[in-house]
Structure 1
């Protein structure tokens, strides 16, 4: 499969291992009718409650917010800045200027700021296009925010800026970020202990992040957000000890390839949010990655990042993503999972393709599709041991006839996310402090002589994004044995450690189906015994009860001339739903 550099459209359903790639690609009695409006209204509302209470109110990722929209002068901004025809002067820090900011302010497009080893206590803002900012030693050239400055290096509306061979730490927001740019390149970067993301691109396109490391971030190690299309590649990076290894809020056309995501709360998390422009998220390629052991309760996290805990690759409300050729091991909850997300709108997943992955030793299920989904999510050619729902590749194949063409999925992953979302509302959920994660081991610097190498121009559509080859899954070395034990579940719902979690798990998941079974059985029995009613009349209502889930029995109890006393019908329907809602709300009230 080829991914076109400019269009980034997924051309085929399958990726041939080892092939070279270039950049790529919102869901319905016996008394006179006039005496029963309250009953009718309550029953219809109750049916709606059954549906909506089953939807996760948890988002897979917190919305950190894209940097405010820039007000730029005429002729300045993404796509409006000319590419330099040659290199400009190199400015050295601290030889020429004492601070990185002073050097950046004096540099010209096509030039370079070369930084000697040392700790630089500053926050650097870059507005000069086509500038290279390079450290002479990746591990020893450090920008330190001191837990009081916002960003390490932040690029605003300056196209083609490359940042390389540096470390950024202890910033309140991001270690390195590009905002509203056309062309960017970050390589051989280390970012750790930052309050939002380690390395991020917001509202930017035609970019590349490679050979970099991010840890200890309260939102995500790597983040590409609010771009459509993004035309970006993340390759050969490591995300570790973060809330999420990668977050792709409303990102379209990003390739996340050949990288390792480990010991985060969750691994790779493309997601949709209304609070960021460009919804929904769509058309990501996730391939050739090693995703393992993402269940770190000591990793820093925000309350709204906790619901995806223990998930390896989770698509939250995304569309048209291709997840292929990844090795996913030892996840506490789900290996690869598609889940809906609720923000201002409900965003179910749809048309995502999960194929040819090896997924093993997941605590709940290796592959999962959460309900509700919008349809055409498919699974094929994977090597899992478990799935939710069971036989997921037979129920949701990528070719041939589908058992549930309009959607489907299981409520278990949805309730799993809901339970953790409730648990996190008071802030008392398992997580660590981003300020205290600590320094990573030494990281390899850029090859060759950093001082002698020419500037790196991030020319959109030219030098970035770079072509890449997806490594075959056989080249990924996994662990030898189990590190995650199976969680005890009831009908696919985990028995959480807190008693209220068990309460929600049992009542939130099991009770609606018990109620539904009772409604169907009582309605059918009632219709069979109504011998005074014409046979065609009873037949039509039986079909409605059997064919229309949940709402069919409720409509019969409201409009079907049932001889069952009104009070008993209310207890059976509204009473059952009220008990269900009561236990869920009780769990919310006392949770934590």
Structure 2
């Protein structure tokens, strides 16, 4: 064993000691497996048992990793633990899809209680972290940077927790949550998923919530993207909505992104609600989001791109400053029951919403 390994083992032992010092004897059988750069994360994950921790030392690992063991923790030593694509793409589905870390269960049988924490995932053609069919997935202190599609993404999942992550300069959304992108389905109940205290910067969209219900997006810093927060629904039932966007700081999302097959060009957008119902947008600070996109503005209520109206959404108690063309924009005049109350702002389209 080299001096480098001995030093890292000493550091890792300290981390394990802090993490396990207060652990009750009932979980004493759970093991921590240490992986060093040059060793296979996937082999260690495959050998681990439910409840175990796979601890990655500092350094760079070149591979994609699939986790399907319930209760497993995949944890690095901080941003200095880096996962990048392998020089030669492996045959597993995670690598084939261009993703870095995949946490996957099966349709109708979710993998439960997995945690991913304390590492950087970068340079993947797809997503840094991609999860599907999970229950209680926790992603914390993960830095997802310069991935081709999403920084951190989850589909067909419930009770997820996404806290204190950084998603920068990813091709689409920094954080993407959806029922599924593979089929036309009604909005799914996430049973209380939480997106909180994340930094989302320089992506196409900071956070996208698509065809979901019952979740919270709160206390995030969203800046330098083409658009800050998108909450998206359509004609499928149940409708998207019944969720909360609160206490976020959303400012200067003025990067310019071209039109795509699904979406107009984006620039200068704070929060968009489109095709949603019963959504509460409250206590957000939304500043200096300006642009020439049809979706530009501080908070924008927009008729769904397939013609579905937004209904019974409440926009209340927000502070909006210097957004253009206006702080509050409502283009969905056919939508019923949308209310704008108690917001501190100067300009709206149509007039009278401030």
The TM-score with structure 2 as length reference comes to 0.81
**Contact persistence 1:219–1:302 (CA under 8 A):** no
Aligned to 1:258: 219
Matched, 1:109 2:67: no
Residues 334-483 of structure 1 aligned to structure 2 (within 5 Å): 334-343=297-306, 346-392=307-353
Aligned to 1:304: 262
Q: Deviation of residue 112 (structure 1)?
A: 0.5
1:42-78 superposed Cα distances (whole Å, 9 cap, x missing partner): xxxxxxxxxxxxxxxxxxxxxxxxxxxxxxxxxxxxx
Aligned to 1:154: 102
Distance 1:207 1:287 in 2: 18
Structure 2: runs of 5 or more not aligned: 1-25, 90-94, 106-110, 180-186, 291-295
Aligned to 2:137: 184
Distance 2:260 2:73 in 1: 33
1:540-581 superposed Cα distances (whole Å, 9 cap, x missing partner): xxxxxxxxxxxxxxxxxxxxxxxxxxxxxxxxxxxxxxxxxx
**Contact persistence 1:353–1:378 (CA under 8 A):** yes
**Contact persistence 2:321–2:345 (CA under 8 A):** yes
Larger radius of gyration: 1
- Rate the CA distance shift 1:99–1:295 in 2: closer, same or farther, 3 A: same
Distance 1:300 1:361 in 2: 23
**Contact persistence 2:259–2:265 (CA under 8 A):** no
1:483-526 superposed Cα distances (whole Å, 9 cap, x missing partner): xxxxxxxxxxxxxxxxxxxxxxxxxxxxxxxxxxxxxxxxxxxx
Larger relative contact order (Cα-Cα within 8 Å, sequence gap ≥ 6): 1
Matched, 1:132 2:85: no
Q: Deviation of residue 194 (structure 1)?
A: 1.0
Q: Deviation of residue 100 (structure 1)?
A: 0.9
Identify which of 173, 179, 182 aligns with 2:126: 173
Distance 1:278 1:142 in 2: 41
Distance 2:269 2:41 in 1: 39
Q: Higher strand share goes to which structure? A: 2
Distance 2:244 2:132 in 1: 22
Aligned to 2:35: 93
Aligned to 2:176: 223
Aligned to 2:64: 123
Q: Deviation of residue 214 (structure 1)?
A: 0.2
More displaced stretch, 354-363 vs 307-316: 307-316
- Rate the CA distance shift 1:318–1:110 in 2: closer, same or farther, 3 A: same
Distance 2:43 2:86 in 1: 19
Residues 498-513 of structure 1 aligned to structure 2 (within 5 Å): none
Structure 1: runs of 5 or more not aligned: 1-84, 394-592
Equivalent pairs counted in the alignment come to 302
Matched, 1:291 2:232: no
Distance 2:100 2:279 in 1: 32
Q: Secondary structure at the match of 1:365?
A: coil
Aligned to 1:508: none
